[in-house]
Structure 1
Amino acid sequence: MKKLALVWMLLQAFQGASAQTAKWDSTFRPNNYDLKKELFRSFKNSEKDVVFLGNSITANVDWSELLQMKEARNRGISGDITFGVLERLDEVIEGKPAKVFILIGINDISRNIPDSIIAENHRKIVARIKKGSPKTKIYLETLLPVNNTFTQFKNHYNKDEHIQYVNERLKETAKAYGAVLIDLHPYFQDSEGKLKKEFTEDGLHLKAAGYKLWADILKKGNYLK
Protein backbone atom coordinates (compact mmCIF):
# COMPACT_ATOMS: atom_id res chain seq x y z
CA MET A 1 0.00 0.00 0.00
CA LYS A 2 2.87 2.36 0.83
CA LYS A 3 4.40 1.71 -2.58
CA LEU A 4 1.08 2.41 -4.29
CA ALA A 5 0.69 5.62 -2.33
CA LEU A 6 4.21 6.68 -3.33
CA VAL A 7 3.52 5.94 -7.00
CA TRP A 8 0.27 7.92 -6.80
CA MET A 9 2.07 10.89 -5.22
CA LEU A 10 4.77 10.84 -7.90
CA LEU A 11 2.13 10.64 -10.62
CA GLN A 12 0.27 13.60 -9.16
CA ALA A 13 3.49 15.59 -8.93
CA PHE A 14 4.33 14.80 -12.56
CA GLN A 15 0.85 15.76 -13.73
CA GLY A 16 1.04 18.96 -11.73
CA ALA A 17 4.37 19.86 -13.29
CA SER A 18 3.04 19.09 -16.76
CA ALA A 19 0.00 21.26 -16.16
CA GLN A 20 2.23 24.07 -14.95
CA THR A 21 4.49 24.01 -18.01
CA ALA A 22 1.44 23.92 -20.27
CA LYS A 23 0.00 27.18 -18.92
CA TRP A 24 -0.14 30.07 -21.32
CA ASP A 25 -1.45 33.62 -21.32
CA SER A 26 -3.06 35.32 -24.30
CA THR A 27 -3.09 38.68 -22.49
CA PHE A 28 0.69 39.06 -22.23
CA ARG A 29 1.96 42.30 -23.76
CA PRO A 30 5.58 43.52 -23.63
CA ASN A 31 6.41 46.59 -21.55
CA ASN A 32 6.72 48.91 -24.55
CA TYR A 33 3.55 47.66 -26.23
CA ASP A 34 1.25 50.59 -25.37
CA LEU A 35 3.88 53.17 -26.28
CA LYS A 36 4.54 51.51 -29.64
CA LYS A 37 0.80 51.27 -30.36
CA GLU A 38 0.41 54.96 -29.62
CA LEU A 39 3.38 55.87 -31.81
CA PHE A 40 2.18 53.74 -34.72
CA ARG A 41 -1.24 55.33 -34.55
CA SER A 42 0.27 58.81 -34.54
CA PHE A 43 2.14 58.21 -37.81
CA LYS A 44 0.54 59.10 -41.14
CA ASN A 45 -0.63 56.18 -43.26
CA SER A 46 -0.55 55.87 -47.03
CA GLU A 47 -1.91 53.37 -49.51
CA LYS A 48 1.66 53.15 -50.83
CA ASP A 49 2.97 51.84 -47.49
CA VAL A 50 4.85 48.54 -47.31
CA VAL A 51 4.33 47.38 -43.73
CA PHE A 52 6.58 44.96 -41.87
CA LEU A 53 4.58 43.51 -39.00
CA GLY A 54 5.99 41.35 -36.23
CA ASN A 55 8.12 41.15 -33.09
CA SER A 56 11.73 42.12 -32.27
CA ILE A 57 13.11 40.29 -35.31
CA THR A 58 11.13 42.78 -37.39
CA ALA A 59 11.53 45.72 -35.00
CA ASN A 60 15.33 45.61 -34.81
CA VAL A 61 16.06 47.06 -38.25
CA ASP A 62 15.19 50.22 -40.16
CA TRP A 63 13.38 48.70 -43.14
CA SER A 64 13.43 51.87 -45.21
CA GLU A 65 17.23 51.99 -44.85
CA LEU A 66 17.73 48.26 -45.30
CA LEU A 67 15.66 48.09 -48.48
CA GLN A 68 16.31 51.65 -49.66
CA MET A 69 12.54 51.98 -49.88
CA LYS A 70 10.90 55.13 -48.56
CA GLU A 71 7.49 53.40 -48.40
CA ALA A 72 8.69 50.76 -45.89
CA ARG A 73 7.09 51.00 -42.45
CA ASN A 74 8.25 49.13 -39.35
CA ARG A 75 5.39 47.80 -37.24
CA GLY A 76 7.42 45.41 -35.13
CA ILE A 77 7.20 45.33 -31.34
CA SER A 78 9.87 43.50 -29.37
CA GLY A 79 8.37 40.61 -27.42
CA ASP A 80 5.04 40.67 -29.22
CA ILE A 81 2.88 37.61 -29.81
CA THR A 82 0.10 36.83 -32.28
CA PHE A 83 -2.56 38.01 -29.82
CA GLY A 84 -0.77 41.36 -29.58
CA VAL A 85 -0.71 41.69 -33.36
CA LEU A 86 -4.44 40.97 -33.51
CA GLU A 87 -5.08 43.63 -30.88
CA ARG A 88 -3.23 46.33 -32.85
CA LEU A 89 -4.10 45.18 -36.35
CA ASP A 90 -6.74 47.88 -36.91
CA GLU A 91 -4.01 50.52 -37.16
CA VAL A 92 -2.44 48.61 -40.06
CA ILE A 93 -5.75 47.90 -41.81
CA GLU A 94 -6.97 51.51 -41.57
CA GLY A 95 -4.04 52.70 -43.67
CA LYS A 96 -4.98 50.35 -46.54
CA PRO A 97 -1.27 49.63 -47.23
CA ALA A 98 -0.04 48.27 -50.55
CA LYS A 99 1.72 45.32 -48.89
CA VAL A 100 2.03 43.71 -45.46
CA PHE A 101 4.87 41.34 -44.58
CA ILE A 102 4.09 39.26 -41.48
CA LEU A 103 6.57 37.39 -39.30
CA ILE A 104 5.17 36.51 -35.87
CA GLY A 105 4.92 33.45 -33.63
CA ILE A 106 8.28 32.55 -32.09
CA ASN A 107 7.43 34.36 -28.84
CA ASP A 108 4.10 32.49 -28.73
CA ILE A 109 6.05 29.24 -28.90
CA SER A 110 8.40 30.38 -26.12
CA ARG A 111 5.34 31.14 -23.95
CA ASN A 112 3.77 27.72 -24.50
CA ILE A 113 0.85 29.00 -26.55
CA PRO A 114 -0.40 25.88 -28.36
CA ASP A 115 0.71 25.50 -31.95
CA SER A 116 -2.88 25.16 -33.13
CA ILE A 117 -3.78 28.48 -31.48
CA ILE A 118 -0.82 30.21 -33.16
CA ALA A 119 -1.94 28.81 -36.51
CA GLU A 120 -5.51 29.96 -35.91
CA ASN A 121 -4.28 33.45 -35.02
CA HIS A 122 -2.32 33.59 -38.27
CA ARG A 123 -5.53 32.77 -40.12
CA LYS A 124 -7.38 35.49 -38.21
CA ILE A 125 -4.70 38.05 -39.04
CA VAL A 126 -4.87 37.27 -42.75
CA ALA A 127 -8.68 37.13 -42.81
CA ARG A 128 -9.01 40.49 -41.08
CA ILE A 129 -6.56 42.21 -43.43
CA LYS A 130 -8.32 40.77 -46.46
CA LYS A 131 -11.71 41.90 -45.16
CA GLY A 132 -10.63 45.37 -44.05
CA SER A 133 -8.22 46.13 -46.87
CA PRO A 134 -8.93 43.84 -49.84
CA LYS A 135 -6.34 45.44 -52.12
CA THR A 136 -3.47 44.90 -49.67
CA LYS A 137 -1.10 42.15 -50.76
CA ILE A 138 -0.29 39.85 -47.84
CA TYR A 139 3.03 38.06 -47.42
CA LEU A 140 3.35 35.35 -44.75
CA GLU A 141 6.94 34.60 -43.76
CA THR A 142 7.92 31.34 -42.10
CA LEU A 143 9.46 31.43 -38.64
CA LEU A 144 13.25 31.42 -38.55
CA PRO A 145 15.22 28.62 -36.90
CA VAL A 146 16.87 29.17 -33.52
CA ASN A 147 20.23 28.02 -32.19
CA ASN A 148 20.47 26.31 -28.80
CA THR A 149 24.27 26.57 -28.60
CA PHE A 150 23.63 30.06 -27.24
CA THR A 151 22.26 30.69 -23.74
CA GLN A 152 20.43 34.03 -23.68
CA PHE A 153 16.92 32.94 -24.74
CA LYS A 154 16.46 29.45 -23.29
CA ASN A 155 12.66 29.50 -23.58
CA HIS A 156 13.00 29.89 -27.33
CA TYR A 157 15.48 27.09 -27.92
CA ASN A 158 14.76 23.39 -28.49
CA LYS A 159 11.34 24.13 -29.95
CA ASP A 160 12.16 23.00 -33.48
CA GLU A 161 9.13 20.73 -33.80
CA HIS A 162 6.84 23.63 -32.86
CA ILE A 163 8.50 25.92 -35.39
CA GLN A 164 8.09 23.23 -38.04
CA TYR A 165 4.41 22.75 -37.21
CA VAL A 166 3.65 26.48 -37.33
CA ASN A 167 5.54 26.87 -40.59
CA GLU A 168 3.58 24.05 -42.21
CA ARG A 169 0.33 25.67 -41.12
CA LEU A 170 1.53 29.01 -42.51
CA LYS A 171 1.96 27.38 -45.90
CA GLU A 172 -1.60 26.05 -45.69
CA THR A 173 -2.97 29.42 -44.60
CA ALA A 174 -1.23 31.22 -47.46
CA LYS A 175 -2.72 28.79 -49.95
CA ALA A 176 -6.20 28.90 -48.44
CA TYR A 177 -6.41 32.70 -48.25
CA GLY A 178 -4.51 33.66 -51.38
CA ALA A 179 -1.56 35.15 -49.49
CA VAL A 180 2.05 34.88 -50.67
CA LEU A 181 4.23 32.48 -48.68
CA ILE A 182 7.88 33.46 -48.27
CA ASP A 183 9.75 30.48 -46.85
CA LEU A 184 12.61 32.20 -45.00
CA HIS A 185 13.43 29.27 -42.73
CA PRO A 186 15.62 27.17 -45.09
CA TYR A 187 17.85 30.12 -45.96
CA PHE A 188 18.84 30.67 -42.34
CA GLN A 189 19.46 27.12 -41.10
CA ASP A 190 22.75 25.24 -40.97
CA SER A 191 23.29 21.55 -41.69
CA GLU A 192 21.86 20.66 -38.25
CA GLY A 193 18.74 22.78 -38.72
CA LYS A 194 19.96 25.54 -36.37
CA LEU A 195 20.07 29.26 -37.06
CA LYS A 196 23.45 29.86 -38.68
CA LYS A 197 25.91 31.48 -36.30
CA GLU A 198 27.02 34.04 -38.86
CA PHE A 199 23.50 35.47 -38.79
CA THR A 200 22.98 35.74 -35.02
CA GLU A 201 24.72 36.69 -31.80
CA ASP A 202 22.22 35.15 -29.38
CA GLY A 203 20.61 32.24 -31.23
CA LEU A 204 17.36 34.12 -31.85
CA HIS A 205 17.84 37.64 -33.17
CA LEU A 206 19.59 38.61 -36.38
CA LYS A 207 22.85 40.44 -36.97
CA ALA A 208 23.42 42.72 -39.95
CA ALA A 209 24.36 39.74 -42.13
CA GLY A 210 21.01 38.13 -41.37
CA TYR A 211 19.08 41.21 -42.34
CA LYS A 212 21.11 41.52 -45.53
CA LEU A 213 20.15 37.96 -46.45
CA TRP A 214 16.50 38.69 -45.66
CA ALA A 215 16.58 41.79 -47.84
CA ASP A 216 18.23 39.82 -50.66
CA ILE A 217 15.49 37.16 -50.47
CA LEU A 218 12.79 39.82 -50.77
CA LYS A 219 14.52 41.57 -53.64
CA LYS A 220 15.46 38.49 -55.63
CA GLY A 221 11.97 37.06 -55.18
CA ASN A 222 10.47 40.27 -56.60
CA TYR A 223 8.27 40.58 -53.51
CA LEU A 224 8.87 44.32 -53.20
CA LYS A 225 7.72 45.37 -56.68
Structure 2
Amino acid sequence: MALALGVLMPHPALALKLAALGDSLTAGWGLPAADAYPAKLARVLADKGRTVEILNFGISGDTTAGGLARLGMVLAAAPDGVILELGANDMLRGMDPAVPRDNLDAIMQRLRDAHIPVLLCGIRAMRNYGRAYAVELEAVYVELAKKYDAVLYPSFLDGVTGVPGMTLPDGLHPTAEGVAEMVRRSLPTVETFLARLGTTRAAP
Protein backbone atom coordinates (compact mmCIF):
# COMPACT_ATOMS: atom_id res chain seq x y z
CA MET A 1 0.00 0.00 0.00
CA ALA A 2 1.34 3.40 -0.94
CA LEU A 3 0.57 6.34 1.27
CA ALA A 4 0.12 9.41 -0.87
CA LEU A 5 0.47 12.54 1.22
CA GLY A 6 -1.58 15.56 0.36
CA VAL A 7 -0.09 18.98 -0.13
CA LEU A 8 0.77 20.79 3.07
CA MET A 9 0.37 24.54 3.32
CA PRO A 10 2.48 26.64 5.71
CA HIS A 11 1.45 27.05 9.34
CA PRO A 12 1.45 23.35 10.32
CA ALA A 13 -0.43 24.13 13.53
CA LEU A 14 -3.47 24.81 11.36
CA ALA A 15 -3.12 21.66 9.27
CA LEU A 16 -6.07 19.32 8.99
CA LYS A 17 -5.38 15.61 8.50
CA LEU A 18 -7.78 13.30 6.70
CA ALA A 19 -7.53 9.59 5.95
CA ALA A 20 -9.05 8.17 2.77
CA LEU A 21 -10.02 4.53 3.38
CA GLY A 22 -11.02 2.78 0.19
CA ASP A 23 -10.31 0.40 -2.66
CA SER A 24 -8.73 0.93 -6.09
CA LEU A 25 -10.89 4.00 -6.69
CA THR A 26 -9.09 5.65 -3.78
CA ALA A 27 -5.71 4.01 -4.34
CA GLY A 28 -5.55 5.25 -7.93
CA TRP A 29 -5.20 1.92 -9.72
CA GLY A 30 -3.27 2.23 -12.99
CA LEU A 31 -2.26 5.83 -12.30
CA PRO A 32 0.76 7.60 -10.80
CA ALA A 33 0.33 8.24 -7.08
CA ALA A 34 0.04 11.97 -7.75
CA ASP A 35 -3.08 11.35 -9.86
CA ALA A 36 -4.96 9.35 -7.22
CA TYR A 37 -8.09 10.94 -5.78
CA PRO A 38 -6.63 11.85 -2.35
CA ALA A 39 -3.57 13.54 -3.85
CA LYS A 40 -5.58 15.48 -6.44
CA LEU A 41 -8.14 16.51 -3.87
CA ALA A 42 -5.38 17.76 -1.56
CA ARG A 43 -3.89 19.88 -4.36
CA VAL A 44 -7.25 21.40 -5.25
CA LEU A 45 -7.88 22.25 -1.60
CA ALA A 46 -4.40 23.76 -1.33
CA ASP A 47 -5.12 25.91 -4.38
CA LYS A 48 -8.19 27.17 -2.52
CA GLY A 49 -6.09 28.07 0.53
CA ARG A 50 -7.10 25.14 2.69
CA THR A 51 -4.55 23.52 4.97
CA VAL A 52 -5.18 19.82 4.43
CA GLU A 53 -3.11 16.64 4.41
CA ILE A 54 -4.75 13.50 3.04
CA LEU A 55 -3.39 10.02 3.72
CA ASN A 56 -4.24 7.44 1.07
CA PHE A 57 -5.35 4.18 2.68
CA GLY A 58 -6.69 2.78 -0.57
CA ILE A 59 -5.92 -0.82 -1.54
CA SER A 60 -6.89 -2.15 -4.94
CA GLY A 61 -9.33 -5.05 -4.79
CA ASP A 62 -10.30 -4.38 -1.20
CA THR A 63 -13.78 -5.12 0.09
CA THR A 64 -15.64 -3.66 3.02
CA ALA A 65 -14.42 -6.64 5.07
CA GLY A 66 -10.84 -5.80 4.16
CA GLY A 67 -11.36 -2.18 5.11
CA LEU A 68 -12.74 -3.22 8.47
CA ALA A 69 -9.79 -5.55 9.05
CA ARG A 70 -7.25 -2.77 8.56
CA LEU A 71 -9.16 0.02 10.24
CA GLY A 72 -6.65 -0.06 13.08
CA MET A 73 -4.03 1.41 10.74
CA VAL A 74 -6.32 4.34 10.02
CA LEU A 75 -7.08 4.90 13.70
CA ALA A 76 -3.36 4.80 14.48
CA ALA A 77 -2.84 7.71 12.09
CA ALA A 78 -5.19 9.80 14.27
CA PRO A 79 -6.95 11.64 11.44
CA ASP A 80 -9.34 14.51 12.05
CA GLY A 81 -11.79 12.89 9.63
CA VAL A 82 -12.15 9.91 7.30
CA ILE A 83 -13.27 9.75 3.68
CA LEU A 84 -14.79 6.26 3.49
CA GLU A 85 -15.12 4.72 0.01
CA LEU A 86 -15.77 0.98 0.00
CA GLY A 87 -18.32 -1.41 -1.45
CA ALA A 88 -17.54 -1.53 -5.16
CA ASN A 89 -15.72 -4.85 -4.91
CA ASP A 90 -18.47 -6.31 -2.74
CA MET A 91 -20.86 -5.39 -5.55
CA LEU A 92 -18.61 -6.79 -8.28
CA ARG A 93 -18.50 -10.09 -6.38
CA GLY A 94 -22.28 -10.16 -6.20
CA MET A 95 -22.40 -10.03 -2.42
CA ASP A 96 -25.72 -9.49 -0.74
CA PRO A 97 -25.95 -5.77 0.18
CA ALA A 98 -26.31 -6.88 3.80
CA VAL A 99 -22.60 -7.78 3.76
CA PRO A 100 -21.24 -4.31 2.95
CA ARG A 101 -23.93 -2.82 5.20
CA ASP A 102 -22.71 -4.79 8.21
CA ASN A 103 -19.04 -4.10 7.52
CA LEU A 104 -19.52 -0.39 6.86
CA ASP A 105 -21.69 -0.21 9.96
CA ALA A 106 -18.88 -1.72 12.03
CA ILE A 107 -16.31 0.66 10.51
CA MET A 108 -18.45 3.71 11.18
CA GLN A 109 -19.25 2.60 14.72
CA ARG A 110 -15.54 2.33 15.53
CA LEU A 111 -14.88 5.72 13.98
CA ARG A 112 -17.72 7.20 16.02
CA ASP A 113 -16.27 5.63 19.16
CA ALA A 114 -12.97 7.34 18.30
CA HIS A 115 -14.81 10.64 17.69
CA ILE A 116 -13.71 10.74 14.05
CA PRO A 117 -16.28 12.20 11.61
CA VAL A 118 -16.92 10.44 8.31
CA LEU A 119 -17.55 11.50 4.74
CA LEU A 120 -19.25 8.43 3.27
CA CYS A 121 -18.93 7.89 -0.49
CA GLY A 122 -21.64 5.78 -2.06
CA ILE A 123 -21.38 3.29 -4.91
CA ARG A 124 -23.90 2.78 -7.71
CA ALA A 125 -24.57 -0.83 -8.70
CA MET A 126 -23.92 -1.83 -12.30
CA ARG A 127 -27.07 -2.16 -14.43
CA ASN A 128 -26.67 -5.89 -14.98
CA TYR A 129 -27.32 -6.52 -11.28
CA GLY A 130 -30.91 -5.38 -11.69
CA ARG A 131 -32.93 -2.57 -10.21
CA ALA A 132 -33.82 -4.32 -6.95
CA TYR A 133 -30.15 -4.96 -6.13
CA ALA A 134 -29.20 -1.39 -7.07
CA VAL A 135 -31.89 0.13 -4.88
CA GLU A 136 -30.93 -2.04 -1.91
CA LEU A 137 -27.20 -1.33 -2.26
CA GLU A 138 -27.61 2.41 -2.67
CA ALA A 139 -29.93 2.50 0.34
CA VAL A 140 -27.11 1.11 2.48
CA TYR A 141 -25.16 4.36 2.19
CA VAL A 142 -28.19 6.56 2.82
CA GLU A 143 -29.15 4.50 5.86
CA LEU A 144 -25.66 4.54 7.39
CA ALA A 145 -25.09 8.22 6.71
CA LYS A 146 -28.30 8.96 8.57
CA LYS A 147 -27.51 6.57 11.41
CA TYR A 148 -24.08 8.08 12.04
CA ASP A 149 -24.87 11.65 10.99
CA ALA A 150 -22.17 11.38 8.33
CA VAL A 151 -21.79 13.61 5.30
CA LEU A 152 -22.87 11.59 2.25
CA TYR A 153 -21.57 11.82 -1.30
CA PRO A 154 -24.01 9.43 -3.02
CA SER A 155 -22.01 8.37 -6.09
CA PHE A 156 -18.21 8.42 -6.01
CA LEU A 157 -17.98 7.81 -9.78
CA ASP A 158 -20.56 10.41 -10.73
CA GLY A 159 -19.68 11.90 -14.12
CA VAL A 160 -17.12 9.19 -14.87
CA THR A 161 -18.78 5.82 -15.47
CA GLY A 162 -19.79 5.44 -19.11
CA VAL A 163 -18.28 8.78 -20.14
CA PRO A 164 -15.70 8.57 -22.97
CA GLY A 165 -12.17 9.36 -21.84
CA MET A 166 -13.04 9.20 -18.16
CA THR A 167 -12.21 5.53 -17.57
CA LEU A 168 -9.33 3.22 -18.40
CA PRO A 169 -9.91 0.50 -21.03
CA ASP A 170 -11.47 -1.75 -18.38
CA GLY A 171 -14.38 0.68 -18.15
CA LEU A 172 -14.23 0.59 -14.35
CA HIS A 173 -11.28 2.62 -13.14
CA PRO A 174 -10.96 6.36 -13.78
CA THR A 175 -8.28 7.96 -15.90
CA ALA A 176 -6.40 10.99 -14.57
CA GLU A 177 -9.08 13.09 -16.25
CA GLY A 178 -11.73 10.96 -14.60
CA VAL A 179 -10.19 11.51 -11.18
CA ALA A 180 -10.09 15.25 -11.83
CA GLU A 181 -13.81 15.12 -12.60
CA MET A 182 -14.45 13.12 -9.43
CA VAL A 183 -12.63 15.77 -7.42
CA ARG A 184 -14.51 18.58 -9.14
CA ARG A 185 -17.91 17.04 -8.53
CA SER A 186 -17.24 15.94 -4.97
CA LEU A 187 -15.54 19.18 -3.89
CA PRO A 188 -18.68 20.93 -2.57
CA THR A 189 -19.46 17.88 -0.42
CA VAL A 190 -15.85 17.71 0.78
CA GLU A 191 -16.00 21.38 1.72
CA THR A 192 -19.21 20.76 3.65
CA PHE A 193 -17.40 17.97 5.49
CA LEU A 194 -14.42 20.18 6.28
CA ALA A 195 -16.70 22.93 7.53
CA ARG A 196 -18.35 20.42 9.83
CA LEU A 197 -14.96 19.53 11.27
CA GLY A 198 -14.72 23.18 12.22
CA THR A 199 -11.03 23.50 11.39
CA THR A 200 -11.04 24.71 7.79
CA ARG A 201 -9.75 28.20 7.23
CA ALA A 202 -8.16 30.15 4.43
CA ALA A 203 -4.40 30.63 4.56
CA PRO A 204 -3.41 34.28 5.17
Same fold by TM (over 0.5)? yes
Superposed displacement of residue 82, structure 1: 0.7
1:1-225 equivalent positions in 2, closer than 5 A: 36=1, 48-60=16-28, 61=36, 63-68=38-43, 69=46, 71-131=53-113, 133-134=114-115, 136-144=116-124, 146=126, 158-159=128-129, 161=131, 162-184=133-155, 187-188=158-159, 195-201=162-168, 202-221=170-189, 222=191, 223-224=193-194, 225=200
Cα distance per residue 1:192-221 (max 9 Å; x no partner)? xx6323321222111122211221123233
Aligned-partner residue type, residue 58 of structure 1: T
The higher radius of gyration belongs to 1
Q: TM-score if structure 1 supplies the norm length?
A: 0.65
- Sequence identity (%): 27
Cα distance change of structure 1 residues 66 and 182 upon mapping to structure 2, 3 Å threshold: closer
Cα distance change of structure 1 residues 160 and 51 upon mapping to structure 2, 3 Å threshold: farther
The size of the alignment, in residue pairs, is: 166
Superposed displacement of residue 165, structure 1: 2.2
Superposed displacement of residue 159, structure 1: 2.8
Superposed displacement of residue 108, structure 1: 1.1
Superposed displacement of residue 64, structure 1: 2.7
Runs of at least 5 residues in structure 1 that lack an aligned partner in the other structure: 1-35, 41-46, 147-156
Cα distance change of structure 1 residues 160 and 71 upon mapping to structure 2, 3 Å threshold: farther
Q: TM-score if structure 2 supplies the norm length?
A: 0.71
Aligned-partner residue type, residue 85 of structure 2: L
Aligned residue for 1:124, secondary structure, equals: helix
Superposed displacement of residue 114, structure 1: 1.4
Cα distance change of structure 1 residues 66 and 200 upon mapping to structure 2, 3 Å threshold: same
Cα distance change of structure 1 residues 145 and 210 upon mapping to structure 2, 3 Å threshold: farther
Aligned-partner residue type, residue 84 of structure 1: G
Superposed displacement of residue 72, structure 1: 0.9
Q: CA RMSD in A?
A: 2.5
Runs of at least 5 residues in structure 2 that lack an aligned partner in the other structure: 4-14, 29-35, 47-51, 195-199
Runs of 4+ in 1 over 3 A off after TM superposition: 160-164
Greater relative contact order structure (CA < 8 Å, 6+ sep): 2
